[in-house]
Structure 1
Amino acid sequence: MMTRVKRAYTDGRFGQLHYRIAAPEIPSALPPLYCLHQSPKCGLEFETLMRTVGRERIVVAPDYPGYGGSDAPPAEHDATTPAYAEACWQVAGALGHDTLDLFGNHTGAKVAAEMATSRPDRVRSIAMVSAALLTPEERAFFSDYFTPIPLDEAGTRFTTMWERILKRRGPGTSLEMLAQSYMMNLLGGEAYEWGHIAAFAWDQPFVDALKTLPHRITILNPDDDLAECTRRAPALLKNGEVIECPQWGYNFMDVWPEDVAALLAKVLR
């Protein structure tokens, strides 16, 4: 039986923060698992996985400010990785959650690292999907790739978004899953690329975090755009490993939630 995922709001620095939460019928001794989304998505990308993980422990997926149902910061310079991490801690505070496990996807990997850096005594273990350890050339490519596409009457932004989602379609991904991914992009509005910009600005702190954080960090490496640069992580990790997952691509948490939940249960300890 799958666990029901509920939605709620709490107050944050920039307004309301929206989050999803699932919990087992019988309370668990495991710390809550906080799922931290990629850009420009929201906590909805974890909902299928939450129904599975939620059978064993509390699992929470906040929307960063400006994404999903959360109010946006007033300006782009306010949208930073530390601000996203602080928003997630505000959700944890509202729910009375002290010690957490963290699971960050792409941008969420950096948010997880910042959460652990800012409150190391409140994090037990960390899992990440990919590690954006970019060369200057890769950084320039991605910065150009994720430059916001202006609105026009031809709908260029929307056709380009859909083409990119189709191109990166992972094994087993249905059209309905792709449509949901597309919808999450649109919820970011005109600020939809602020999250990528915030993530690129947090490059060196991320490297420093991998080198110094004492927490166990497990990085899952699916077959996606960051697969090659993720393989640079083992040389940096103070305590952890990279697990190759070539059978998975984008949307793998929707396609194989039971497998992902089982792997997370193994590595988050």
Structure 2
Amino acid sequence: MHDFHWDYEVFLFLATLLTLGAWLLAKFKKHRSKQANKATWLSRTAAVGSFFPILFLVLSVRSFAFEPFRIPSSSMMPTLLTGDFIYVDKTAYGLKMPVFHNTLIETGHPQRGDVFVFRSVEDPAVDVIKRVIGVPGDHIRYDERSKQVWLNGAPLALQGDGFYQGFLDEIPGTGLRQNQATTGAASHVVLLSDVVRRSYPHTDLVVPEGHYFGMGDNRDFSVDSRVFGLIPEQNIVGKAQFVWMHWRPDDFWQGLKRIGHRL
């Protein structure tokens, strides 16, 4: 049983139910509204009910199809930058019930290398984005000294590719080195810092059924499964597909180049 949290989706769901009730009430009571005061009350009820089709459409699309998200931090650099707006496919991992998030129809499961959005393990009202490193049955080990990830007894290959020269406004002067990595079927870049070293509580575990292990591509500046542990499948929102907009007031043209960037 998961804790219930008030968020935008809950209010949208309740508003849809409220307007549905008003719409149905107006339909069934219409033929009985002979008196003036009843007619006035009915017209107000009908006005509330008129919002039902719009809210139902928004709730359906947001819950079952796709949802836009804005990247608020640098934990997925350089794959995703602060200011990216991403398209998240909510059909990739199954159709889920709004608010309660129980899977109605299974359409797939997260694969190693996927970039996915999930509700935070620490605060389910907050959405988080990371890369899938471990799936059910995997043995994950993270060596804090070498900053190496081991998957089922084998190291995930990292090939050094010099210093990162991109956006560093949020984490200045950290000497980030970029490394070419392959996780599952995904080839991507991982950033590691020469000066930052951290200890984590979850560095050696086997992923049980219905859970996943996620990490940020900006490894030393990411709060992920090494910190908060495994991600329950019920928390998963969907698979991030591409950047549909980017907004950085300090670099408009760079933002235009980000549009359409696939993940």
TM-score range, shorter chain: under 0.3
Pick the structure with more helix per residue. 1
TM-score, length basis structure 1: 0.24
Higher strand share goes to which structure?
2
